Amino acid sequence: MARYLRMPLVPSIWGYDPRLQFCHEEDALSILKRAALEDTSGLYNLAGDGAVYLSQATRLGGRTRLPIAPLFIGAAMSAAKLAGFSSLDAQQLLTMRYGRVIDNAKAKARFGEFRYSTRDAVLDLYGIDKRPVEPAIEVSPDEAHVAAA
């Protein structure tokens, strides 16, 4: 999915704008580490909070969607694979049509809140840092006067 979303022209299925959900790699690695070291039997859905539409994900990365008629999407993805771009398998093509959003409540109850939301994961995928800028340290007028001297 990461290679697919990084394509300069992102092929999509015409008439569909699926909701998607992602887990940031740091959250995934943190949870996998804990799962290996702790008693965490069971299945957990891992994904950051929230969802984004495919159109939002591509816009966030400055990419352009290339809507393709459903009848031709398989051939288009095969051509993209031959050209050295990403290719999606049949299951991923279904996701690109209908989307996939999960309930991550059980994972959050066991492992705690995810550090990154789905939107944060998409922004990080594109190398966009959305962390707020630290406020400048306020300097009193007297300190500013001394510093200027």
Residue pLDDT, tens place only, 25-75 = 999 999 999 988 988 888 999 999 999 999 999 999 999 999 999 888 888
Confidence (pTM): 0.77
d(CA 21, CA 121): 9
Which long-range contacts does 71-77 make (Cβ < 8 Å, 24+ apart)?
73/11, 73/13, 76/11, 77/11
Q: Which of 83, 148, 113 is nearest to 23 (CA)?
A: 113
